[in-house]
Amino acid sequence: MKLPPLAELQYVSHPFEVHLKSDFGGVKTRPGLVFRGPAGYGEFAPFKHHSPEHAALWLQAAIEMAYDPVLPLKRLEIPINGIVPMMPLEDIPQYVKTVSAQGVTSFKVKCGSEDFADDFARVMAVRESAQLSSIRIDVNGKWDVMQAKERIFELNAFATLEYVEQPVATIQEMTQLRNLVDVPLAIDENIRLSTGISSRDLQMAADIAILKAIPSGGVRKALEIAEEIDMPIVVSGSMDTSVGLTAGLLLAANVEDLYGACGLGTGNLLETDIANTVLPERGVIQVQNAKINPMLLERSAWKMEQAEKDFWDNYLVTCYEILEQM
């Protein structure tokens, strides 16, 4: 993809910062830049703990969204799972009720707490509140193999897990664990953040692949990965605003082997947004263009510290220079 001039990106960029309803993996706000290009809007909001090289892929995805988005070819409605962060237990019943009312019948529960009892209680609260729904858990690689084996067995005995996403950190541990448990395993971080791993390695380590459009470098790049690894795919978001979420919808709209409900229901976790918030209806989200709300965008920028705005202006330059060398 040909890069637009840096000066043009700087001219069409606008800072933003949205807030989450509850802590999501240690994150309470999502700052970044949004671009208005000839084909629509793109979002550049990499997590700050990512390396500049990884962040450059987020910029590549934002440019694709704003200048040359992919068209939906295989489906126009994307099935959605609800996402349950590490929220207070007393908030879970109402949250699950709200999401279930949107037609959602699958929930992904975040696990990996310091005390496994907290994970267990959270999963049981979801199971009790959504008795007929399927439950997936996401551990973000925080368990070791033996912990994972024991905890998956215990959770599955009480909650009947659909699958477990990235229970352990490395591809070797995933492969080892897969031979010890009966519950399907899904792989996420090992696809995006590891090098030198073959499609055969991934197929040996997991049953399902989690793909994210923006951290992969855009929809086209993610589709290339999907074709290469040749596994059933669940598309997930990257805790995006309702602008960035449209990239995930386009990826899910074009994946050949879509496993099932996708993790694109993060609109329910946004306290503030910069666009009309994208939420499931009848359990699905329609593939759509981002609908920026100018008032919300201006308000989010007005509340940002100047140092934060300066950071994103400078980070845009850094990541652009990396893209020029790729």
Least confident of 25-29, 258-262, 300-304: 25-29
Instruction: Give catalytic residue positions.
Output: 108, 212
**pLDDT value of position 194:** 66
Complete DSSP assignment for 29-47: EEEEEEEEETTEEEEE---
Arithmetic mean of pLDDT, 120-135: 97
**pLDDT value of position 25:** 72
Averaged pLDDT of the chain: 95
pLDDT at 23 over 90: no
The candidate with the shortest Cα–Cα distance to 258, out of 211, 217, 298, is: 211
Q: Which two tokens stand for residue 185?
A: 């395993």
pLDDT at 16 over 70: yes
**pLDDT value of position 1:** 73
pLDDT tier at 197, thresholds 50, 70, 90: confident
Between 193 and 117, whose confidence is greater?
A: 117
**pLDDT value of position 22:** 82
Q: Can you list the domains of the chain with their CATH numbers? A: 6-71+294-325 (3.30.390.10), 77-286 (3.20.20.120)
The answer to whether residues 221 and 194 touch, using CB atoms and an 8 Å cutoff, is: no
pLDDT at 193 over 80: no
Q: Which two tokens stand for residue 42?
A: 């793109």
pLDDT at 6 over 70: yes
The candidate with the shortest Cα–Cα distance to 261, out of 138, 74, 72, 106, is: 106
Q: Please tell me whether the overall predicted TM-score, pTM, comes out greater than 0.75 for this model.
A: yes
